[in-house]
Amino acid sequence: MNIKRRLIATAVATAISGQVFAADDPAARIAELEKQMQALSAELIAVQQQLAQNKDQKVAEKGKSTGTPVYAAFKDGLVFEDSSGNWKLQINGRVQADYRTYDPTEWKSDTFSIRRARFGGTFSFLKDFAVRVEGEYANDATGAKGTTAMTYGYIDFNRWKGAKIRAGQFKPFFGLERSHSTNFVDFTELSLATNNGAIFTSTYDRGVMVYGDPLPWLNYNVYAVNGTGQNNDDVNDAKDVGGRINANFANLADIKNAVIHVGASASNGSIGFSTSTGSSISQVTEGSGATFFTVTGLANTKADRTRWGLDAAVTYGPVKLQAEYIDANYEGRRVGSTTNTPNTNALYDNDIRVWYADLNWLVTGESWADAYKSGVFGRLKPKRNFDDKDGWGAFELGLRYSNYDASDFRSLLPTATTTTAYTSEADAWTAGAKWILNPNARVVLNYVHTNFDTAIRVNRKLDDTENAVVLRAQYDF
């Protein structure tokens, strides 16, 4: 208030004096105006000094910060970290928006869908520790309740590169294709060999895992998990124990611009079903269309499962050839009482054998070796991102064949009805085109043709093939 009064008083005095000298000699008037301007300048300087003192006083009242600066950047996610390296927060998310169309149309409706919508973050602290939590928002809706579910929820201890420790809910690494992030798989969906969920290949589960890179060309992991799948605690004392080891012999032999990957996986345990009834194995087509195989009532609370698999990938420059074989054995006693469940209470000791092979070509010349790390292929970076000048991103073409053989379970298939009938064997061809606009955005188009060993019936429609077209727009960070 004092500052305002002083300025007002000065302005009033200037106006009055201007009127007083209006009729006087011009020279005298100019001299008086100069004196007034000098006085006004002095007042303005005093005001500036007072404002500066007030600012210093406010800073002193708040106290002086003694912390380190925090830096923000976008590097495959929104990253905040302090300059000392004591902590880092990385925010991640993804959206995969699909359009799917099918033939026969009676089996499944054409649809726009959100395949995945996830958001989460990883907080690293004290250099050796990290916590990751992620939620999935695109689960099947029931209309009666929310469908958000946790995917990742674990803590890592990373002091030793060759022996990191992970505890919580995570993805146990089994095989090559399933170990990839779904952001970076070659096609819109995994093959018939691995798109069959926790009952066959590892999806999210709860337990502990030790993993790492003891040598630049060698990677491994070993784990013990419940075996009950995502967001389920165990229902018995037995645990699913497994591991994976893989090597990149191109790195060992110092072959540039190439990957020669060979891997092996195995697990043994008792799968603890999260419910006492309805425990089953089922299989859907690669286009996420018809469920062509299902066997129910495999156990009251558990079933013994032994798995082993081999995988390989050879790349040179922009070309990649990848293949995988998995054998899963199930042993137990069947339960159930429904009329269309054959061989109730029968003992079973059956195998499911699956494999796939695919060939992928980066038409724009990027190298697959640049995307390979720790036994998996990750984010591809175009030579030139798509922009409004001369960049068009990267283009990829792919072809995959996959085979599913559960013929050991043929006698346990549900009895055919007027609305449903299943088969135990199928194979599929998938042709794909991918446009990678930049490291975080891509558009994928797939055509999937599936052949069934015997005709299946869905919604009263009998047929021995399914055709699907899937168009996906994806952004992840």
User: For residue 336, what is the enclosing H or E element?
Assistant: none
Percent of the chain with pLDDT over 90: 62
Residue type, 256: K
Closest CA to 285 of 196, 168, 220: 196
Check residue 198 and give its pLDDT: 65
Residue type, 223: Y
> What number of other Cβ atoms are within 10 A of residue 264's Cβ?
15
How far apart (Å, rounded) are the C-alpha atoms in residues 52 and 121? 43
Q: What is the mean pLDDT of residues 2-21?
A: 50
pLDDT band at residue 280, thresholds of 50, 70 and 90? confident
The token pair at 438 is 């930049």
Per-residue pLDDT reduced to its tens digit, 446-470: 999 999 999 999 999 999 999 999 9
Check residue 234 and give its pLDDT: 81
Q: Which of residues 146 and 365 earns the better pLDDT score?
A: 365
Task: Answer for the pair 148, 135: CB distance below 8 angstroms, yes or no.
Answer: yes
Check residue 140 and give its pLDDT: 62
Closest CA to 242 of 167, 153, 306, 198: 306
What are the φ/ψ torsions at residue 95 (nearest 5 degrees)? -135, 130
- Name the CATH superfamily for 74-476: Porin (2.40.160.10)
The token pair at 270 is 């008792």
Q: Model's pTM, two decimal places?
A: 0.81
What are the φ/ψ torsions at residue 453 (nearest 5 degrees)? -60, -45
Q: Please, which contacts does 338-341 make with residues 24 or more away whose CB atoms are closer than 8 Å?
A: 339/415, 340/414, 340/415, 340/417, 341/296, 341/297, 341/414, 341/415
Per-residue pLDDT reduced to its tens digit, 189-220: 999 999 886 667 668 999 999 999 999 999 99
Q: Residue 27 above 90 pLDDT? A: no
Domain spans in the chain, listed from the N-terminal domain onward: 2-62, 74-476
* Ramachandran category for residue 197: left, alpha or beta (phi over 0 → left; psi -120 to 50 → alpha): left
User: For residue 73, what is the enclosing H or E element?
Assistant: strand 70-74
Check residue 276 and give its pLDDT: 44
Check residue 297 and give its pLDDT: 79
Q: What is the mean pLDDT of residues 121-140?
A: 90
Check residue 255 and give its pLDDT: 96
The token pair at 190 is 């995994």
How far apart (Å, rounded) are the C-alpha atoms in residues 449 and 445? 14
How far apart (Å, rounded) are the C-alpha atoms in residues 303 and 308? 17
Per-residue pLDDT reduced to its tens digit, 54-101: 666 655 544 454 567 888 888 777 899 887 778 999 999 999 999 999
What are the φ/ψ torsions at residue 386 (nearest 5 degrees)? -70, 125
Task: Answer for the pair 406, 283: CB distance below 8 angstroms, yes or no.
Answer: yes
How far apart (Å, rounded) are the C-alpha atoms in residues 11 and 15? 6
- The Cα-based distances of 310 to 33, 101, 103 in angstroms read 96, 33, 34
Check residue 278 and give its pLDDT: 46
Q: Residue 409 above 80 pLDDT? A: yes
Q: What is the mean pLDDT of residues 165-179?
A: 94
Per-residue pLDDT reduced to its tens digit, 333-384: 877 655 566 666 778 899 999 999 999 999 999 999 999 999 999 999 999 9
